[in-house]
Chains A and B, each alone.
Chain A
Amino acid sequence: MPLIQDTSDFFDETGNMAKFTGHFFSHGLRPRFEVKELFAQCYTIGYKSFPLIGLTGFIMGLVLTMQLRPSLVSYGVQSELPVMVGVAIVREIGPVITALIFAGKIGSSIGAELGSMKVTEQIDAMEVSGTNPYKYLVATRVLATTLMLPLLTILGDAISLFGAYIGVNISSVTTIHLFFAQVFQSLSFSDILPAITKTFFFGFAVGIIGCYKGFNSSKGTQGVGVSANSAVVLSSVLIFIIDLLAVQFTNLLGLN
């Protein structure tokens, strides 16, 4: 009965993941903190992801503007282009696209790195050396992804809006001052706060899934590949689920 087996495996996996997350909170966040390693991970995860996030953000803003323009022109509201692009990027497209790119780059990297450490017994060696791997490997990476993704999203949004400004100027002439004045007039605190808040959860999901998959990697190079791949797939799916829940939650709070 493959269906029963698959269902059972799904619940097993979900339970193990919940247990791993519980272990992160109960063991990983206790002193003594691995501050040096946390900064090293913030550098690797945050700073080194910036060029990719910046480039994709710029292209996204540019393409979105070019795609929207014809529709707005047909309704005669092309002057609203900065407003529409600004709201779409800041509220939804910026955080989600940044998180998905982040999951592809960082989720796979964490899954592969920890998976490789697992199969070569480096995690066991760390434990034998008197280092708690949950603190040194998991807590530092999860905290780094949780803290860095909101920063990358803010920077990505800014570059994306600049891309949109270039896009607007391809077919018409608008000053940068006018463009950004229009964008910011249309945005309120209730647009920005939920959008940034949910990226903390996106970052946490990417980090914890990458670490979980790496820590539970099966032996061999194939196992490492599977860990990296499933870390990306699962964190991408979780990003959409968190996004859906975030929208529902902000609606409930009346922040829309």
Chain B
Amino acid sequence: MTTAINTKIKPEDNIAKGAPVIVIEHLFKRFGKNVVLKDFNLTVHGEENVVVLGKSGAGKSVLIKCIIGLLKPDSGKILVFGENVPGMNPDELDKVRTKIGFLFQANALYDSMTVRENLEFPLRRHWIDLSQKQVDQMVSEALENVGLKNTGDMMPSELSGGMLKRIALARTLILKPEVILYDEPTTGLDPVTSREIDRLILTLQKKYHTSSIVISHDMNCVKNIADRVILLLDGVCYADGTYEELEQSGDEKIKQFFEQ
């Protein structure tokens, strides 16, 4: 049985730019007999980028889906800005979701809508009092942020993989969330586009002062954007430290992730 290894950096000393925004305590989640998360703990601070590493099927996506309330954990607490997500009713959940952005692995753009309609959709849901002029302004700003100003009238099917990822990022950011959850943001992209997406994530994080949890298998992406790396193994937080610390670790289970 594996035990959690914490490297010399403790979470509370780590890039403490602000108060904890996400606190996960004793999280358990199982699907049938398969226990995915068992007693998982994590704290994410303000303006911190935490990357969660782990094998396929380790429960990384399950973790962030529990944070946003798409999945309900079996037990444990997920405090987002001090409020426990699993205990929320649908209205409270909608409210807290305005503070959390979620970038889906497959982008999840609505393929029956244009890019502009995709970006307008969350705005119209959450801020119903906005005038058309304000909506247009916010959509233009979001498209400008990701460098795709002239794509508003295009359909998602007309865009390349990198462009789709940028539009999905623009949609995620349009509500100005304080926390962003990225589910494998560079999976399926070529190395050049992947680096562009990494840079974009960092630029937008600095601009909007967001905190992030990033799920990734792409070690270049991890190296570029992580303030802290969490290794999720066998349902627990197996290791927690900076990229360099984990890279230099002598632990075989950690080393296998860093061997190219």
- Which residues from chain A sit less than 8 Å from chain B, CB to CB? 113, 116-117, 120-122, 124-132
Contacts and interface: CB of A to CB of B under 8 A. Distances in A.
Q: What are the 9 closest A-B residue pairs judged by CB atoms, nearest first? A: A125-B108, A129-B122, A121-B108, A130-B94, A130-B125, A121-B104, A128-B102, A122-B108, A131-B125
B126 A120 contact: no
B258 interface: no
Nearest to B174: A129
A124 B126 contact: no
Interface string B97-116: 11010101110111110000
Contacts of B104: 121, 124-125
B32 to A, nearest CB: 14
A33 B72 CA distance: 26
Interface residues of B, number: 21
Contacts of A130: 94, 97-98, 122, 125-126
Contacts of A116: 111
Contacts of B70: 124, 127-128
Given A126-B121, A128-B70, 6 more contacts: A121-B104, A121-B105, A128-B100, A129-B122, A130-B94, A130-B126
Contacts of A131: 121, 125
B68 interface: yes
Nearest to B168: A125
Contacts, number: 45
Contacts of B65: 124
Nearest to B98: A130
Nearest to A127: B70
Interface of B: 65, 68, 70, 90, 94, 97-98, 100, 102, 104-106, 108-112, 121-122, 125-126
13 contacts: A116-B111, A117-B110, A120-B106, A121-B104, A122-B109, A122-B110, A124-B65, A124-B104, A126-B110, A129-B122, A129-B126, A131-B121, A132-B90
Contacts of B122: 129-130
A171 to B, nearest CB: 49
Nearest to A122: B108
A128 B94 CA distance: 8
A156 to B, nearest CB: 27
B110 A125 contact: yes
Contacts of A126: 110, 121
Nearest to A36: B124
Given A130-B97, A132-B90, A124 B125 contact: no
A141 to B, nearest CB: 13
A121 B103 CA distance: 11
A121 B125 contact: no
A128 B68 contact: yes
A124 B65 CA distance: 9
Contacts of A117: 110
A127 B109 CA distance: 13
Contacts of B121: 126, 129, 131
B97 A122 contact: no
A122 B111 contact: yes
A113 B90 CA distance: 25
B257 to A, nearest CB: 26
A169 B111 CA distance: 49
Contacts of B110: 117, 122, 125-126
B218 to A, nearest CB: 19
Nearest to B101: A128
| Most A Cβ at <10 Å: residue of B70, B100, B105 | B70
Nearest to B123: A129
B98 A121 contact: no
A131 B70 CA distance: 12
B155 to A, nearest CB: 14
Contacts of B106: 120-121
| Most B Cβ at <10 Å: residue of A120, A121, A125 | A125
A187 B137 CA distance: 61
